[in-house]
Amino acid sequence: MEIPTQREDIKALQGVHIFHFPISNCSQRVRIAASEKGIAWISHIVDLTRDEHTTPEYLRLNPKGLVPVLVHDGRTHVESNDIIKYLDETFPGARLHPDSAADLAFVEQSIASSSGAQSAMKLLSHEFLFKPKALKSPEKLRAFETTDADPALVDFHREFTAGKGFSAERIQAAISDIGDRFCQLETRLGDTEWLSGPAYGLADISWLVNAYRLRLMDYPFERFPRMKSWLSRAMARPSFKTGIRNFEPASARLAFAGYTAMRKFRGNSIRHYSAADHDSVAGPHR
């Protein structure tokens, strides 16, 4: 989605510029698409851990205070799933959309589903991976609340910080949301090699970043065997390395693995919540 640009410095940018954060799933989506298309781009890191996405300057680039943002020849585009479609339509290189009308309809629908999954993905990521680092101190939260950031973004961090994580009900609802969407993708993979159709494409890119994120949390992929095998195949592509791995600090991977192992040991990992969701029994310990 293109949005008007007020910043003269942005209007002056030529070529492809991506404003992103290394481990943000939405940023990963755009980097993978750029890599699959063979697009050369200029990187602008927006450090979410330092709240660089809520500075007045950044909010003049994206009033929602979110990454990623694509600037192409001075024009600003937001919403990662729209950006990957834009890159596919605008640039030569590999075609990331299928030929058949039926496949195209599925691609559209599954990309919309991936966009719809973002609130659940964000909640689960903060709860099961980012919590040790992302909980804001009361002072940092107060400072965040006084920015002009989108009220929904402020509410999210307020709820996360106030509860030192999310309630069991909120976690369970997010897991069910993802489970429902995964069921549909699992069915699709019974008919086609890739989510996009016979060839890897936009639907795969859009979901890969979510599936990979869930894998880091030790999501029970054995319940979705086709998704599990699809994820391994998608991760074997060079664009996974250039779009995700190369931007993932080893320290972050270690921290995620350590936190995930600790929650598993304590009996309140995503696996425990998912089992409760699956069996409709009482939830895990908090």
Ligand X SMILES: N[C@@H](CCC(=O)N[C@@H](CS)C(=O)NCC(=O)O)C(=O)O
Q: Which two tokens stand for residue 81?
A: 């799933």
Residue type, 30: V
Which CB atom, from 24 or from 35, has the smaller least distance to ligand X?
24
Helices (H), the chain: 8-11, 25-37, 56-59, 80-90, 101-116, 118-125, 131-134, 138-145, 151-162, 168-188, 202-216, 225-235, 238-243, 250-266, 270-279
CB of 99 to ligand X, least distance (A): 26
CB of 10 to ligand X, least distance (A): 17
Nearest to 75 by CA among 165, 11, 23: 11
Q: Which two tokens stand for residue 73?
A: 């020849």
Which CB atom, from 1 or from 102, has the smaller least distance to ligand X?
1
Which CB atom, from 62 or from 260, has the smaller least distance to ligand X?
62
Which CB atom, from 149 or from 270, has the smaller least distance to ligand X?
149
Q: Spell out the residues 6+ positions from residue 141 whose beta carbon is closer than 8 angstroms to its own.
A: 157, 158, 161
Which CB atom, from 24 or from 274, has the smaller least distance to ligand X?
24
Q: Which residues bind ligand X (CB under 6 A)?
A: 24-26, 48, 53, 66-68, 79-81, 118, 122, 153
CB of 31 to ligand X, least distance (A): 12
CB of 153 to ligand X, least distance (A): 5
Which CB atom, from 16 or from 271, has the smaller least distance to ligand X?
16
Q: The sheet that has 75-78: what strands, in order across it?
A: 2-3, 75-78, 69-72, 16-20, 42-45
CB of 46 to ligand X, least distance (A): 8
Strand partners, 2: 77
Task: Tell me the C-alpha distance between 49 and 13, whole Å.
Answer: 26
CB of 25 to ligand X, least distance (A): 5
Nearest to 84 by CA among 63, 100, 68: 68
